[in-house]
Structure formats: structure tokens, C-alpha cells
Amino acid sequence: MSSVAYFSFTWLDSRLNWTNNNLYNNDIQAIYSTESTVFTPPIVVENSVSDLGLISDLTLPIEILKTGDITWTPGDVYDTSCDIDTTYYPFDVQTCVITLTTRGYSNNQLSLKLGKVPIVQTAYQENGEWTLVTTSSSTSITYRDLVPYSQINFSFTFKRRIGFHLMNTIIPMFLLVSMTCFVFRIPVDAGEKLGYCLTVLLAFAVYLTLVSDNIPTTSTHTSYISVYLNVMLSLGISSVLFTIHILTIHFKPEEEEIPGYLRTFAKFTCCKSKDTKVSVIAVSEKENEVNKQNTEKENREFTWQEIAKKIDALLFWMYAFMFALLSLVFGIIMTIGSYQ
């Protein structure tokens, strides 16, 4: 987390109290000095990733009141580490902490306390990607070489703005995923079945690369959107294999015998026989014709093309159901995550 902020430190230095000096008590209410002549507490930003040195500003004036109360407000750009949980990306909520601790002086010698208003947000500016939800602060003790040191934690909870990701990630992802199942609605004779399938798979693979670049790189947590996209990619690859198998079945020579499991599948799906004919049956001969058709139905022969069409239809509804179910589950999980 990168933040532009300043800290306001106040303490009492009884050596700089001149209230008992009648010569200066009424005329001089405050003086200003710098770190070169006035003691300042040695404090560091413990979780900084850019600078581990003491908080310092040699040019910043330090206000010293006649009572010995000192106010010091050093500011800078602070880059601090933040543990990112990408489980519900892009519906995620992140909590980042700025940790201050003392150096050189143990807790018994220098103790950090919180003011009446620990975090002042009057100068806070909204971020285009994140919304500040809550802030909190706390004091604690940290140990280094068994020596206790005073520590303060400033916590900031942010929620990612969903508008950009909804328009540029979620909606295009659902539209692209839905295109895969329609490969099974393209007739084999059109000649574009396999080309369409490979084009959609390639577009989905490129889109997966673009989405992966936007997801924060971490191996601690696995994003549900990554799992969803990988499952959809697996289904897209399987659709290519099924399409190749359907093309193979469609263009098999008629003299080749159809396996028994395909015959069973064709009968189960009520596939129309190539020998089935439409005719006008007289009322007096209807019973005989029905018996004849039942006998033919048991011995009917099926073509490879009819079986391929039935497999196409079955796979279309199977893939449409799986895409709808997985997308619904993904949407429910993301909705739950956005309210956590």
C-alpha cells in the first residue's frame, strides 16, 4: 500500500519549560526548532518496503510551547507491505496496516500512545480503484531479542470498486464462455464446426491471459475466478475433442458396421431410421400397419449422420447446463464474498 500521510507526535520535555521565567513567560508563547537541536523520538515504519530508516525531516519546524509541550508532524510517501487475499477477486475486501515502532528505547523508556482521534481523514482523497470502508488503530508490544518495544498499528479496510471489473472482466467472461456450447448447434455439413470451436478456444485462452495479468500475484490464496476460468477452459478443450469425434462419426462410410453402444444410444434417443417413410394408411389397415411398423422399429438401421446429429444435440444441452450451473455457483460465491 502506498500512502501519502503525516504523523503528529506530541510529548512533554520539561527541560524546555519556561513558564517560571518571568522575563519570557508573557512575551514568548512558543518557539520553533529542528531535529538538530531538539530531541525527537526514534520511530520507524516497521512494515515499510522502501525505507527502514527512522522517520525524519531535518527541515521541518518543531513547535515548542512555553509549557514544554512539543508537536512534531513529519510526513512522507510510505510504501508498506500488505497481505492480499485474492479469494474473491474482483469482489474482494482488503485490510492494510501501517505499523510504527520505537528503536533504541524499550517500552519502559519510550512508550507510544494514541491520541483522541488516532486517524484523521479530513485530507483523505478517494481512490479510483478502492473505497475506504473502515479504519482502526491499536497499541501493542513487540519483542526483539526478548526486549519489549512499544508499537502502534493503524488499520485501513478497503473494498474494490466493482464497476470497472464488471464491465471489462465479468460480463465479457460470461459472454465468451456461453459461446462454447453453440459449437454443437453448427451442422457438420457447414464445414465451420471445428474452425469455430478452435476460434472460441483461442479467444478464451487469450482472455484468460489478460485476466491473469490483472489478478494480484500471490500463491497464498487461490482466486475463485481463476478456478472458474480454468474449469471453463477445460470444458472448451473437451468440446474440441468431442467435435473431432463427431466429425469422425459423421464421415464414416455407410458400409461400416455401427457399434452396439451407438445403436443403443440411437434407440434411447428415438433417432429416426433412414428407412422410415411417410404414407397414408387406410382406417381398415391401420392395425396391421402399426404392427408392421413396430416390427420394423425393432430391426431398424441407423446412419452415422443421424447418430452424429443426436450426439451433437445431447452435448449441446449438457454443456449449456454445465455452463449455467457453474456460472450460477460462481455468481453466488462472489456475491457472498462481496458482503463479507
Question: pTM higher than 0.85 for the full model?
Answer: no
What contacts 55, CB < 8 A, 6 or more positions away? 7, 43, 44, 45, 74, 76, 100
3-class secondary-structure state, position 48: strand
pLDDT of 284 reads 47
Cα–Cα distances in angstroms (integers) from residue 323 to residues 76, 100, 179, 318, in the given order: 50, 49, 10, 9
Tell me phi and psi for residue 180, to 5 degrees: -65, -45
pLDDT of 292 reads 54
Domains along the chain? 2-160 (2.70.170.10), 163-254+303-338 (1.20.58.390)
- How far apart are alpha carbons 123 and 237 in whole angstroms? 52
pLDDT of 190 reads 81
- In one-letter notation, the amino acid at residue 46 is E
Run means of pLDDT, 10 residues per run, the chain, 340 residues: 92 89 80 90 91 87 92 92 86 92 90 91 87 93 91 94 84 86 86 86 84 73 85 89 88 78 68 45 51 49 80 89 91 78
pLDDT of 277 reads 45
